[in-house]
Homo-oligomer: A and B are copies of this chain.
Amino acid sequence: MEQTGEDLMERRSGVALWRQVADRIRLGISNGTLGEGGRLPPEITLSQQFGVNRHTVRAAISALVQEGVLRAEQGRGTFVESRKRLAYPITTRTRFSTGLKDQTRARRVNLLRHVVEPAPTRVAEALQLEPGAPVHRLETLSEADGRCVSRGTSWFDATRFPGFADVFVETGSITASFARFGVDDYVRRSTLVSARHADAEDLDTLKLSPGAIVLVTIAINDDLDGRPIQFSETHFSADLVELTIET
């Protein structure tokens, strides 16, 4: 019942102590207060800092090792597997591949699902269609250097872009697909950014662990006549990505 620090961890909060500790360690690494020189303090030190048992710290570290954030070496210590965030630029000419070209070797966009559906209200509004008009819904997973960067859902007017999904599968790129339909260029009209806890589908698709955060962007792209051609909601893994805005 000895307690050096305060009760830093919240009990009865619905989040297991070991997971709270794991999140704190992750945070400490990302803002540089922990893991000086790539080496984590010994388990005993951490358990005192967080006011929990050493077993609990071990459970946290074990989870982070599993996740690839840490690497534990018996007798030597626990080390940080460093990796910096990708900077994803948001401009009038936002495109997935070109934006990350300088920072990554390999980029790929996979089509997870495709359906034609009646436009939900917010989609119809954004695309300036009648509510219920047929639209393509494409769910995609974007990878860069083998890491799952983002999960996106995009809607396109099915009347204007018949068979869009097939073209996308063939080209592997939104930009190239638009070109096939005579849209040689398009611009980002607006972007809404928010952040939340990853939901079950985020966890599954982006291979995140519970408690992880996603950056959510909701965007509208226009053709050069100012007509909306794409409405999309994208979930970025917040650990992997930051957004840059040049105004």
Q: Is the CB of B209 within 8 A of A91?
A: no
A207, CB-defined interface residue at 8 Å: no
The reply on A122 being an interface residue by CB < 8 A is yes
A36 in the interface, Cβ–Cβ < 8 Å? no
Chain A positions 30-85 with a Cβ under 8 Å from a chain B Cβ: 30-32, 59, 63, 85
Number of copies of this protein chain within its complex: 2
Which of the residues B18, B192, B215, B241 comes within 8 Å of A244, measured between beta carbons? B192
Instruction: Tell me the complex Cα distance, A238–B216, Å.
Output: 11
Choose among B59, B188, B247 the residue that contacts A191 (Cβ–Cβ < 8 A).
B247
A116 within 8 A of B: no
Stretch at the interface among A8-16, A125-133, A224-232: A8-16
| B-chain residues with CB within 8 Å of residue A238 when the two chains form the complex | 194-196
How many residues in A have their beta carbons less than 8 Å from beta carbons of B? 57
Of the candidates A18, A92, A197, A244, the one having the most CB atoms from chain B within 10 angstroms of its own CB is A197
* A27: Cβ under 8 A from any B Cβ: yes
Q: How far is the CB of A59 from chain B (nearest CB, A)?
A: 8
A190 within 8 A of B: yes
Residues of B within 8 A of A32 (CB): 122
The answer for the CA separation of A16 and B14 in the assembled complex, in Å, is: 5
Find chain B residues with CB under 8 A from A223 CB.
none
Q: Is there a chain B Cβ closer than 8 Å to A203's Cβ?
A: yes
Complexed CA–CA distance, A33 and B234 (Å):
17
Among B31, B63, B122, B196, which residue has its beta carbon within 8 angstroms of that of A213?
B196
Q: Is the CB of A200 within 8 A of B19?
A: no
Select A245's contact among B8, B22, B122, B191, beta carbons within 8 Å: B191
A23-B211, A31-B196 known; 5 other A-B pairs, CB under 8 Å?
A: A14-B210, A15-B16, A15-B19, A191-B245, A195-B214
